[in-house]
Amino acid sequence: MNFAEHLKRSAVLGLAISILITLALSTWMFRAEESDLRLQHRQRLAVMHANALALAVANTNVEETGKRVSDIQKLDPRIESVIIVGGMQLVASTRAEDAAPRQLGREEKALFDLSDQIRTARETNRGEDVVRKKTVQIEEKTIGHIVVTVPYLSDGQFAGILQMKFNTTGPDVSGADIFSPAPDSYTLPALLFLAALLAGSLFRMSTERKVDFTKLLALGVFLLIALFFQQQRLERLERTVTQANQAIAANYLAAAQQYDRLGYLALPRDNSSVNLWDTDHYQRPLGLIAADGSVSAKTQAAYFDKRSGFLKRILGAIDLLGAAVLLMFLYGYAARTFAALKEHADAYTYVAPAMIGMLVLVFFPFAYGITLSFTDTTLFNEFLPFQDRLIGWANFKAILGDVNLYERTAGGIIWNYQNFYWTLLVTVAWTISNVTIGVTVGFLLAMALNTEGLRGKAIYRVLLILPWAIPNYITALVWRGMFHPQFGVINQVLQMFGMQPVAWFDGVFSSFFTGVATNGWLSFPFMMVVILGALQSIPKDMYEAAEVEGADRWQRLRYITLPLLRPTLIPAIVLSVVWTFNMFNIIFLVSGGEPGGANEILITKAYKIAFENYQYAYAAAYSTVIFMILLVYGIFQTRITKATESF
């Protein structure tokens, strides 16, 4: 087979594979987008109905509220139940067993908390005059069964929350299933592909021109097919979005008529006013449906453009990927890769299990964590479509841009313990003091143990490394017990010498000290053993020679011991800096970051953000910042290590 034949073959193969990859990935993206759209559609519907009812019960008294709620709920079978909570009161409920109005029970505290959370969110948005906190809360634990919570007002003031269970699994008011897609047409792509094959075999040219032509033709056909397919799907998506919007409009009109008939309609229905029912999660009107129920094509198109921007960028990336695959085939890289795979099949088989495990459980989570940090995902909004959670760099801005480290008041300076830079400061202080203690104590003990003719060395050594052997979470809990303010051993010792007991976990410095004491206790044996090993490898005759030359003890330490310890000590310090920086267990288990989070180090803080505040995305961003710090340290550390090697 000559070169031209070879090229033709790999062009056809490459074209087929790259098209397959591109179409498959694009289809996957469109599927994801469509399911996102479906999610958004039904949640928008639910929010609209909840908003409508919240507006209808604003400014009404308790009986009237109860009546209106139950009237509306009876009219629409999709509204499964509605409850209204104001302060500690269950104002209204459509469930007979609730017997509203009454006080909230103890087991209903979650509702009170939710109401409080939404009130705070509203106030934050008002106070800062920006829209940052979501005031509409959505939960969709089973698909189609949506629980929406919105605030309702009285005299323009926050009065409480309205929670609606909305079932979207039944038939829609507008009737048609807007999401049943028409079958895709693959005719044109297939025809193009065949045409390309035909053209390729028909042309008879000089070999050199043929090579270029084949490459160009393959690339052209690929781009044509990919772009045509994506355009087709984009148009279909736009149709779907339009239809979905019309369906919402139909729902809106139907509901508005019902409200009107009952006299509950609280908003004007003329063309010029804003539709307050159909809002986003910050209760800002979407503006897609006018108050009279009409849909404007222009706003629609603008909305779709905005919505599909992200998707279009991803599609562009997919096209680039496909083109890259095709070029790999055209320039022979693919063939070489396959050959390598075949030749080293044994090796890849052996590596594969571990590699796959690492990719799935280490590298994918890592990438996912980074992605997560650009969203505002929390435990409460993880049901939302991905695009609605995407917030760009906001998390990083909030973490790094918040420089209100302290406040000046009449009583002096008040530190803000929740601030990132405070935590960073604590972490740095924590790392430096621990490593210093570890190295100093370790060095002293190693020097002592290295003394010639010392009795009982072996026993000392075993007893002194005991702290290293015990699992560190046990150590941490033990020291927590010893620092117990009332019965703890340490306060007993203080009192033994006539001192006052200390409430260890109540003061910033004393609490910091508990962590350092614990960590110092468990980390000095490592340093001691490492330094001892290095000391023992220093040849004795060096000291003897120095002694003969008249060097005193200090000079011997300064000019022999320390320089020779350096190659061992520096890597050990580098290592223990990272260990201490990431020492989660001690802070978390001994002081728990008390008082008031003042002694949190970066990673315990990230943990608490994630698993006590449930702000997953914010915690992911926090962890990304930690990773960046470690990365910078890593680069810096290689420099240092290299520098010491050249000594």
Partner 1 sequence: MADIKTRNHVWLHVVLISFTVLAIYPVLWVLALSFSGQQSVGLIDLPKDPSFLERFRGILPVPAHWSVKNFTEVWTEQDFGRWMWNSLVVSLMTTALGVFLACTAAYAFSRFRFPGRNVGMLMFLISQMFPGTLMLIPLFIIIVKWMGLGNTYVGLVIVYATTAIPFCVWMLKGYFDTIPYDIEESAIIDGASRLTIFLRIILPLAKPAIAITALFSFMTAWNEFILASIFMESEANYTAPVGLRFFVGGFTSQWGYFAAGSVIVSLPVVALFLQLQKYLISGLTAGSVK
Q: Which of residues 557-586 bind partner 1 (CB under 8 A)?
A: 567-568, 570-572, 575, 582, 584-585
For residues 121 and 371, what is the distance between their CA atoms, to the nearest angstrom? 25
Q: Choose one: 44-52, 188-196, 238-246, 623-631; the region binding partner 1 (CB under 8 A).
A: 623-631
Among residues 186, 203, 310, 611, which is the contact residue for partner 1, using CB under 8 A?
611
Q: Which is nearer to partner 1, 279 or 431 (CB)?
A: 431
Residue 118: how many other CB atoms lie within 10 Å: 21
Q: Choose one: 102-110, 147-155, 292-300, 444-452; the region binding partner 1 (CB under 8 A).
A: 444-452
Amino acid at 254: A
Q: Which is nearer to partner 1, 130 or 347 (CB)?
A: 347
Among residues 333, 406, 473, 559, which is the contact residue for partner 1, using CB under 8 A?
473
Q: Which is nearer to partner 1, 221 or 602 (CB)?
A: 602
CA distances 208 to 200, 204, 213, 334, Å, are 14, 11, 9, 21
For residues 53 and 149, what is the distance between their CA atoms, to the nearest angstrom? 11
Within 363-402, the residues that bind partner 1 by CB under 8 A are: 363-366, 368-369, 372, 382
Strands 137-142 and 79-86: unpaired
Q: What is the distance, to the nearest Å, from the Cα of residue 567 to the centroid of all Cα atoms in its chain? A: 40
Site size toward partner 1, by CB under 8 A: 96
Within 305-364, the residues that bind partner 1 by CB under 8 A are: 340, 344, 346-348, 350-351, 353-355, 357-358, 360-364
User: Residue 145 Cβ, how far from partner 1 at the closest point, in Å?
Assistant: 18
Contacts of 220 (CB under 8 A, 6+ apart): none
Q: Which is nearer to partner 1, 150 or 619 (CB)?
A: 619
Q: Which is nearer to partner 1, 24 or 359 (CB)?
A: 359
User: Residue 303 Cβ, how far from partner 1 at the closest point, in Å?
Assistant: 30
Q: Is 184 left (phi over 0), alpha (psi -120 to 50) or beta?
A: beta
DSSP letters of 29-68? Answer: HHHHHHHHHHHHHHHHHHHHHHHHHHHHHTT--HHHHHHH
Strands 406-409 and 89-93: unpaired
User: Residue 351 Cβ, how far from partner 1 at the closest point, in Å?
Assistant: 4
DSSP annotation of 543 reads H
3-class DSSP state of 484: coil
User: Residue 463 Cβ, how far from partner 1 at the closest point, in Å?
Assistant: 5
Q: Which is nearer to partner 1, 302 or 355 (CB)?
A: 355
Q: Exposed, middle or buried by CB within 10 Å (0-12, 13-18, 19+), for 543?
A: middle
User: Residue 41 Cβ, how far from partner 1 at the closest point, in Å?
Assistant: 23
Within 485-524, the residues that bind partner 1 by CB under 8 A are: 487-489, 492-493, 495-496, 521
For residues 245 and 288, what is the distance between their CA atoms, to the nearest angstrom? 8
Contact at 8 Å (CB) between 383 and 138?
Answer: yes
Q: Which is nearer to partner 1, 176 or 355 (CB)?
A: 355
Site string for partner 1, 524-563 (x = CB under 8 A): -x---xx--xx--x--------------------------
Q: Which two tokens stand for residue 176?
A: 């048609």
Q: Choose one: 160-168, 234-242, 482-490, 500-508; the region binding partner 1 (CB under 8 A).
A: 482-490
User: Residue 490 Cβ, how far from partner 1 at the closest point, in Å?
Assistant: 9
Contact at 8 Å (CB) between 529 and 460?
Answer: no
**End-to-end Cα distance, the chain:** 60
3-class DSSP state of 407: strand
Amino acid at 173: V
User: Residue 418 Cβ, how far from partner 1 at the closest point, in Å?
Assistant: 17
Q: Choose one: 9-17, 243-251, 266-274, 448-456; the region binding partner 1 (CB under 8 A).
A: 448-456
Q: Which two tokens stand for residue 101?
A: 């109005």
Amino acid at 493: V
User: Residue 503 Cβ, how far from partner 1 at the closest point, in Å?
Assistant: 15
Among residues 313, 506, 634, 636, which is the contact residue for partner 1, using CB under 8 A?
634
Contacts of 586 (CB under 8 A, 6+ apart): 472, 475, 476, 515, 518, 519, 522
Q: Choose one: 22-30, 326-334, 393-401, 463-471; the region binding partner 1 (CB under 8 A).
A: 463-471
User: Residue 429 Cβ, how far from partner 1 at the closest point, in Å?
Assistant: 19
Among residues 11, 291, 445, 598, which is the contact residue for partner 1, using CB under 8 A?
445
Q: What is the distance, to the nearest Å, from the Cα of residue 235 to the centroid of all Cα atoms in its chain? A: 32
User: Residue 328 Cβ, how far from partner 1 at the closest point, in Å?
Assistant: 14
User: Residue 547 Cβ, how far from partner 1 at the closest point, in Å?
Assistant: 13
